[in-house]
Structures are given as C-alpha cells and as structure tokens.
Chains A and B, each alone.
Chain A
Amino acid sequence: MSFSRGSRQIFNDISLDIPRGKVTAIMGPSGTGKTTLLKLIGGQLKPDQGSVEMDGNNVHQLTRKDLYQLRKRMGMLFQSGALLTDINVFDNIAYPLREHTDLDDSMIRSLVLMKLNAVGLRGARDLMPSELSGGMARRVAMARAIALDPVMVMYDEPFTGQDPISMGVLVNLIRSMNQSLHLSSIVVSHDVPETMSISDYIYLISDGRVVTQGTPEELKNSSDPWVQQFIEGQSDGPVPFHYAASPVMQDLIGE
C-alpha cells in the first residue's frame, strides 16, 4: 500500500500483516505516519495504491454503510482520548451502545458499568471529561473503544505523556484486555520498553517503509545499527544528532 499527502510520500509500497488474537506493535520515530496508518486501516483515509483488508473485506471498496458496519467491529483509542466533552464518562461509553443497539436503559447501564469496571473507573462514571487526568481519560476512551465488543482495537500512542503509574496501568490493560476479550490489538507507539513488553510482533517503520519486523526478542538481537539506535534510544548513530549543517568551526569563525 502506498499513500502520500500532497507531494510528500508517507508510505511507499509497505505491506503489513496483523495476526488475529495477537498484540501487534507499529513503532517508529515521530512523523513517520503511524497515526496515518491507523486512519488508513479504519477507512478514514484512502491509499493511493494498494489495499487494506480486514477479515477479507477491502476497507476502501466498501459502501459507506458497510464501512460503518465494519467499524462497529473495530475500536480505536485516540491519542487525545477523543471523549465527547459535553457529556459525562457514563454517557460517553453509553453513546455507541445507544446509537447502535436497541438495548434498554438498564442493560446499557450494566454494560457501561462492566466496561468501566474493566478499566478500574466504575467510580468515575459521573465525572465530566474535563475532570479526568490524562491517564483516566485514556482509560475511559479504552472502555468506550471496547463498548461494542469489537474484534480489533487500535491504540494510537497510548503511553504518550503518562506518568509511570498510569503507564503501567495502560500497559497491563492492553495486554489483559487482548487476552480476556480475545481481541486483535494494534499498538502504535514510540515508547520502546512499554510497547516491547506487551507485543507479540513488531513492525518498525521509517521513511515510508518497514525497516524491520519481528518478535521483541528478534528486534533486540538485531544487528541493524538503525534498529539498535531506536531501541536503545541512542542520541547519535545512523540518525545523526546534528541537523545537516556546515562544520561547526567554519560556522563559528563566520566563513
């Protein structure tokens, strides 16, 4: 699949396979198009070439109605949480249930409380999104992402900007929900240790292509210097510390 924005090529003929029931991580430096990839999978963007298939359906050839049917089987956790700010936590999670099901209020209440209990926020159901911490907002968004019992959940940078406790909670939740709800998870992140600790398989992407792929162990043992620099978080290496410039002495002397 290839995709570009204007004249800038974001993906150049990349190919990824997301296995069922596993946690697949997509990692790479900032600005490599990881979030764009999730939007392509979800059908919010259309590739220039190639296709995205989910469960045998070509996402971009579906009618709007069929695409919406497919999306009911996908959950997505946005980086910002994307909670609706004018309704409280309970109503945020009840929202997709009310829109897509004919369940009565008592059944919706039970389902929402179960989802909230799964992320440890049953007691926060009456709070407004503005009253939640960043970590709590992401857990509420996680509860909303699984509200319709999807088969696949996509996590967009779930660990960014989280304190260590929140991060630990989110790491455990992603792993445990994947197992208990038999989900297929896609985690997009550049938080290396956390992502590697829960992933079954990792794709490392940069400059519009898959640089390498494999299990966390395989990546740790990779001999590729770029992969090692990324995983170890080294400041200098194949990706230079300095932005391209003339030699420093020449610049200082002013020539």
Chain B
Amino acid sequence: MNVLDKLQKLGQSVISVFSRLGQATLFLYEILLTIPGLLLRPSLVIKQLYTTGVQTLVIILVAGCFVGMVLALQAYYVLVDFGAEDSISQMVVLTLMRELGPVMTGLLFAGRAGSALTAEIGLMKSTEQLSGMEMMAIDPMQRVMAPRILAGFLAMPLLTAVFMAVGVLGGYLVAVHGVGIFEGVYWSLAQLKVDFYTDLMNGMIKSVVFGFVIVWIAVFEGYDSVPTSEGLGQATTRTVVHSSLAVLGLDFLLTAIMFGDI
C-alpha cells in the first residue's frame, strides 16, 4: 500500500466519523423536537425510568459501597504515615463527589443501561417493530426514542447521588469500624470540607452531561444498527466503548473547566 492509498484510507475514515456524527446530531434534533409532546404522556417516561434507573440501582449500590470502602482503605494506608488518618473522610467524600461518583456511575450506566437500550432498540428494528409503528402512523422517535433519552437523562444524576451516598457510607464502615477513626471526626470533616456548589453541584453537572451523552449514543447505535445478530452485537459493543470513552474524555474537559483555570 503506497502513501496515497494510506492517505485516502485515512481520509475515508475521517469523513465516515464526521458523517456519523452528523447523522447522530440530526437524529438527536429530531428526537428533541418530539419532547414537548412527550410531556403530555409522562407514563412513557416513567416506564423507561424504571428500566434504565431502577434496574441499574443494584449494581450502583454494590459498586458504590465497594468503591467507598477501597478509597477509605487506600487513604488510610497513605495518610497514616503522616499521622493524618483523620482526613480519610475528606479524601473519600471529595473524590466521590468530584470524580468517582459521576465517572463510575457513568461507566456502570453505559455497561448496564446503555447496552440494554442499544440491544432493545436494535432488536425492535430487526423485528420490524419500528417500521410497524411508522406504518401505524405512530412516530417511533416520540414513542420509543424520546422517552428513553429523557429517562436516561433523569436517571443518571439520581443514580450518581445514590452512588456518592453509598460510597460515603462504605468509607464510613472502613474508616470508623475498620481502622478506628473517631466517628465524629469522619462526619464533621466531611461536612466541613465539602462545598455544596464546588464539589457536589459540579459532580452532579458532570453526571447530567454523562447521562445525556450515554443515552444519546446508546439510542442512536440501536437505531442505526445493522439488523442482523452480528450487527446488533457490534452496535452494543460500540455503545459501551464509545460512551465509556466519552465519559472519560468529557470528565477531563469538565474537570479542567470546573476546577482549573482553563
């Protein structure tokens, strides 16, 4: 393969990436137009909130608890050498609220709810359910896509809040009942060192952005999937990979904007 061929292939890949990005943006625009009509049918969103939110809750609870526990343990091992082990809660709570809460929830949400959304919509496409709806004069964008986007958008910050809360409790278990930090110190430092806007709200803003991007990718990949078993598998994989990378990339960007001087 000569240089020109390689250059041509690179150009093709770049064009293909931008073309898909354009398609995904138009797809999102079409869905957003249907959202006002959806507000009259809240039951559609509530049903999806159960599927994307409630059914992801168990994995969030378990993961949150363990992450909090590990954080506390690692913090203790480092801080004890400096006699600063009382600051465990500060490290656990700030790490969870600023970074690990939204990021870990985003990654878990992409793996659990994102992949399920892609698979469900892809299967609806391959079994002609979406075409069937269109032929019944029912807009699948409004009835299928929009409720899922809205539900994911609402579920992510709630799940993140749960993850943070359970993580702090997990940290409390290890710090207070595991390594013997005084309970009053754990809670008072956590309260003292956490700023509602800088730490908690910034974390929640991150989770809203992540939630939106994950469901957008998941729903688009399902809608755009090749209607074969192989195509569906590839679309599901793409959802997990792309949304995980998007979460990590956006996290850096948002952190730089929120906590840095960029």
Which residues does A use to contact B, with CB under 8 Å? 39, 42, 44, 68-69, 71-72, 74-76, 78-80, 82-85, 95-96, 99-100, 144, 148
Contact = CB atoms under 8 A, between A and B. Distances in A.
Interface residues of B, number: 15
B127 A85 contact: yes
7 contacts: A42-B134, A44-B131, A71-B135, A71-B136, A80-B127, A82-B127, A96-B137
A14 B135 CA distance: 23
Contact of B134 (A44, A79, A95, A99): A44
A100 B137 contact: yes
Interface of B: 123-124, 127-129, 131-139, 143
Contacts of A71: 134-137
B164 to A, nearest CB: 32
Contacts of B139: 68
Nearest to A82: B132
A74 B129 contact: no
Contacts, number: 52
A242 to B, nearest CB: 29
Pick the 10 closest A-B CB pairs, nearest first.
A82-B132, A68-B137, A82-B128, A71-B137, A76-B135, A96-B136, A78-B128, A72-B137, A80-B128, A99-B138
Nearest to A74: B135
A214 to B, nearest CB: 29
Contacts of B137: 68-69, 71-72, 96, 99-100
Contacts of A100: 137
Which of B124, B127, B133, B136 has the most chain A CB atoms inside 10 A of its CB?
B136
A9 to B, nearest CB: 22
Nearest to A100: B137
A71 B139 CA distance: 12
Contacts of A83: 129, 132
Contacts of B134: 42, 44, 71
